[in-house]
Amino acid sequence: QVQLVESGGGLVQAGDSLRLSCAASGLTFSSYAMGWFRQAPGKEREFVAARSRSGGATYYADSVKGRFTISRDNAKNTVYLQMNSLKPEDTAVYYCAAERGGYRPPTLRESYDYWGQGTQVTVSS
């Protein structure tokens, strides 16, 4: 059974940093591209960042480029999202997702096969 478990969310002030983690189990982690999405209240789930199976390719939404960094440790079956210079508009539930094979467009929700339950990030002004 595949499980993706996010952690690291919380309440911070604007300008602060957070690091989210997503621990994967029940799958061959190195065979999956990994992504982060977020969903704010009343809005659709949107792409944040993705990293290829080997970690050689990364993708970012324009809104987070230069502030967020996605990384992965295939030995630990874990993907991370380092978030710096947080803004109130970054407030959302953050989800990690896994895409088997890494062949589908990484920015699209429908590309992903498995999802975590999400972790709340709240940024106060």
Average pLDDT, the chain: 96
The single residue listed with the structure tokens 């953050």 is 94
Model confidence over 3-29: pLDDT tens digits? 999 999 999 999 999 999 999 999 999
DSSP category for residue 71: E
Mapped onto helix, strand or coil, the DSSP state of residue 51 is: strand
- As a whole number of angstroms, the distance between CA 92 and CA 56 comes to 27
Q: Are 95 and 118 in contact (CB under 8 A)?
A: yes
Q: Can you read off the two tokens belonging to residue 53?
A: 């199976």
Model confidence over 69-122: pLDDT tens digits? 999 999 999 999 999 999 999 999 999 999 998 889 999 999 999 999 999 999
How much is the CA Rg of the chain, to the nearest whole Å?
13
Q: Are 27 and 113 in contact (CB under 8 A)?
A: no
Model confidence over 59-82: pLDDT tens digits? 999 999 999 999 999 999 999 999
- As a whole number of angstroms, the distance between CA 12 and CA 47 comes to 21
